[in-house]
C-alpha cells in the first residue's frame, strides 16, 4: 500500500499541492496541516463524521486527517434537504451544519504521539450516488478503491509533477474526489477555481493543464471568448455529450470523453479521438484495474476499483458478486471498444411502442439553446406512459422545441410536455416517496 501524501511530502516537499486564490499549500505543508488536524479530531471522540460543504482547502485537510485516524467520512451533497440527510446519514457531527470549519480548526489538540498508518481496505468515504433514475444510495469506498482508480486513470491520461488540475466538480462526488488522488500521486497541483472568473479565464490565468467538466460546463466554455490555454486534457463526463458539441469542442481543446460511476470510484473508460456510431461514442477499452463484461448488452463492472457496497441501516451491504450490474447498455467492437447506448432500466412502453428516454434527450441536446435535458415517463390514462421533458435552455419555447424534435424523432417519441428544468420533480425532495 502506498501512502500518497506521505510519499508526495517527501518527493515533492516544495511543490504546490493546493491552490485557492492567494492560499497556497505545498505538499510538505499539507502533510503538516493534516497531522495537526488529526490531533484536533481526536477531541470529537467519534469514528465517523459528516461533511456538507462546498469545495474548500480545509475540506481536503479534514478528509485526509480522518483517513489517518480511521474516521469514516460521509460526504454529503450540499443540495440534499435536511429530512433526507436525517433519514439516510447516521447521527454524527456534520461539518458545515453542526460544526463549522472555523470551530473545528479551533479545537484543542490532543498531545498523544501519532502514527502515520491506516487500513487502506476499510471504509474511507461514504457518498451518495448521483443517478436521476432512482433514489440516491450511500456508496462506501476504501482508500484503495480511489488509489487504484487514480493509478489506472493516470496511465491513460498522463499527469506530471507541477501540472495543474482545475477542480470544478464537487468533492462529494467521485469525479471530484478522484482528482485529489490523481494529483497527489504525481505531485501535481489541485487548483480551486476563482468564482469571479469565467471558465475560460480560469483556464488561462491559472495556467491549467487538466480539467474535468460535465457537458453543461463545456457548452458554457464554448460560448465564452476563446483565450490561450495550456490544456493537455479536458475530460468530459457525468452525462451524455452530443456529437455536435464534441465536434465543436475538439477544434479548440484536447477533449477526452469518459464513462464512470460512483460504484467504480470514477472512470471506467476514457478516450480521445472519438469515433461515433450513429450519435454514440466509442469509448475504447477499460482502464487498468477495471474489469468489464457484457451480458445481453448490459455492462457489468468489477475489479479493485469496485466499491465496498451500499450503506444502509448502519451496515455496508456488500455486492452479491465480484461484478456490479450497471443497467447501462453498450455495444462492442473489437477494433473500437465499448460504445454506450443508454439505460436498460429507463425504457418504457407507450401505446405498445418502446421508448428510450436517452434517445429523446440526445435529440434535445442537439438543439444549441438547450444545455441540459432529462426525460421522465409519466402515467397516462390511455397510453400507459408518456414522455415529459425537462430542459435548461437559454431561450425556452415549448412549441418551438417540439417543432425541432419533429425533424429527428418519431411522432410518438415527442414529449407531451416540455418544461423548464427547475420543474423536474426532485425525487429526493418528495418525502412521502422515500
d(CA 206, CA 187): 17
- 332 and 352 belong to one structural domain: no
- pLDDT (0 to 100) of residue 340: 95
d(CA 28, CA 32): 6
- pLDDT (0 to 100) of residue 1: 57
- 93 and 214 belong to one structural domain: yes
Domain boundary among 341, 370, 402: 341
Q: Determine contact, residues 124/366, Cβ cutoff 8 Å.
A: no
- 352 and 317 belong to one structural domain: no
Instruction: Tell me which residues of the chain have a pLDDT lower than 70.
Output: 1, 130-135, 425-434
How would you class 292 by CB atoms within 10 Å of its CB: exposed for 0-12, middle for 13-18, buried for 19 or more? buried
- pLDDT (0 to 100) of residue 431: 33
Give how far Cα 334 sits from Cα of 28, 155, 251, 327, Å.
46, 21, 28, 22
Alpha helices in 69-162 (DSSP H): 82-88, 101-105, 143-156
- 180 and 259 belong to one structural domain: yes
Name residue 392's beta-bridge partners: 372
Domain coverage including residue 395 = 347-433
Give how far Cα 263 sits from Cα of 64, 223, 326, Å.
21, 33, 9
- pLDDT (0 to 100) of residue 115: 81
Q: Which residues contact 431 (CB under 8 A, 6 or more apart)?
A: 83, 84
How would you class 30 by CB atoms within 10 Å of its CB: exposed for 0-12, middle for 13-18, buried for 19 or more? buried
pTM score of the predicted model: 0.86
- 280 and 299 belong to one structural domain: yes
Q: How many domains does the chain have?
A: 2
For the segment 383-430, what is each residue's pLDDT rounded down to a tens digit? Answer: 888 999 999 998 899 999 999 999 988 888 999 999 998 887 553 343
- pLDDT (0 to 100) of residue 290: 98
Name residue 294's beta-bridge partners: 299
CA angle 310, 241, 233 (to 5 degrees): 90
- pLDDT (0 to 100) of residue 134: 56
Q: Determine contact, residues 200/224, Cβ cutoff 8 Å.
A: yes
- pLDDT (0 to 100) of residue 216: 83
- pLDDT (0 to 100) of residue 429: 40
The CATH number of residue 17's host domain is: 3.40.50.12780
- pLDDT (0 to 100) of residue 61: 97
Domain boundary among 341, 368, 398: 341
- pLDDT (0 to 100) of residue 174: 95
Domain boundary among 341, 363, 389: 341
The CATH number of residue 387's host domain is: 3.30.300.30
Amino acid at each position: 500500500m502506498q501512502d500518497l501524501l506521505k510519499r508526495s511530502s517527501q518527493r515533492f516537499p516544495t511543490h504546490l499541492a493546493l491552490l485557492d486564490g492567494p492560499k497556497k499549500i505545498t505538499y510538505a505543508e499539507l502533510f503538516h496541516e493534516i497531522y495537526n488536524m488529526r490531533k484536533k479530531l481526536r477531541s470529537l471522540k467519534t469514528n465517523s463524521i459528516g461533511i456538507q460543504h462546498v469545495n474548500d482547502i480545509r475540506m481536503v485537510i479534514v478528509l485526509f486527517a480522518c483517513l489517518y485516524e480511521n474516521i469514516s467520512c460521509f460526504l454529503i451533497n450540499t443540495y440534499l434537504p435536511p429530512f433526507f440527510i436525517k433519514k439516510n446519514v447516521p447521527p454524527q457531527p456534520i461539518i458545515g451544519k453542526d460544526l463549522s470549519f472555523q470551530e473545528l480548526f479551533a479545537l484543542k489538540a490532543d498531545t498523544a504521539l501519532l502514527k502515520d498508518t491506516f487500513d487502506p481496505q476499510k471504509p474511507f468515504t461514504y457518498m451518495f450516488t448521483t443517478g436521476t433514475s432512482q433514489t440516491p444510495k450511500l456508496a462506501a469506498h476504501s482508500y484503495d478503491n480511489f488509489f487504484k482508480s487514480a493509478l489506472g486513470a493516470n496511465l491513460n491520461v498522463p499527469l506530471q509533477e507541477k501540472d495543474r488540475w482545475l477542480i470544478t466538480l464537487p468533492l462529494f462526488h467521485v469525479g471530484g474526489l478522484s482528482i485529489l488522488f490523481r494529483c497527489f500521486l504525481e505531485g501535481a497541483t489541485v487548483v480551486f477555481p476563482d468564482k469571479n472568473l469565467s471558465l475560460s479565464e480560469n483556464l488561462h490565468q491559472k495556467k491549467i493543464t487538466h480539467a474535468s467538466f460535465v457537458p453543461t460546463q463545456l457548452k458554457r466554455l464554448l460560448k465564452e471568448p476563446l483565450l490561450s490555454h495550456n490544456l493537455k486534457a479536458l475530460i468530459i463526463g457525468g452525462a451524455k455529450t452530443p456529437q455536435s458539441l464534441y465536434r465543436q469542442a475538439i477544434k479548440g481543446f484536447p477533449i477526452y470523453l469518459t464513462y464512470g460511476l460512483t460504484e467504480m470510484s470514477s472512470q471506467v473508460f476514457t478516450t480521445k479521438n472519438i469515433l461515433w456510431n450513429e450519435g454514440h461514442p466509442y469509448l475504447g477499452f477499460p482502464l487498468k484495474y477495471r474489469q468489464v463484461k457484457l451480458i445481453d448488452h448490459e455492462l457489468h463492472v468489477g475489479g479493485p476499483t469496485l466499491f465496498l457496497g451500499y450503506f444502509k441501516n448502519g451496515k455496508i451491504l456488500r455486492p452479491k458478486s465480484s461484478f456490479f450490474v450497471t443497467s447501462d447498455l453498450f455495444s462492442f467492437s473489437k477494433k473500437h471498444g465499448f460504445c454506450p447506448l443508454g439505460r436498460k432500466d429507463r425504457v418504457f412502453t407507450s401505446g405498445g411502442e418502446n421508448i428510450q428516454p436517452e434517445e429523446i434527450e440526445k435529440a434535445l441536446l442537439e438543439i444549441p439553446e438547450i444545455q441540459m435535458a432529462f426525460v421522465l415517463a409519466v402515467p397516462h390514462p390511455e397510453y400507459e406512459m408518456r414522455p415529459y421533458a425537462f430542459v435548461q435552455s437559454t431561450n425556452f419555447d415549448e412549441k418551438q422545441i417540439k417543432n425541432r424534435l419533429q425533424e429527428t424523432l418519431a411522432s410518438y417519441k415527442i414529449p407531451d410536455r416540455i418544461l423548464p428544468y427547475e420543474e423536474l420533480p426532485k425525487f429526493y425532495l418528495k418525502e412521502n416517496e422515500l
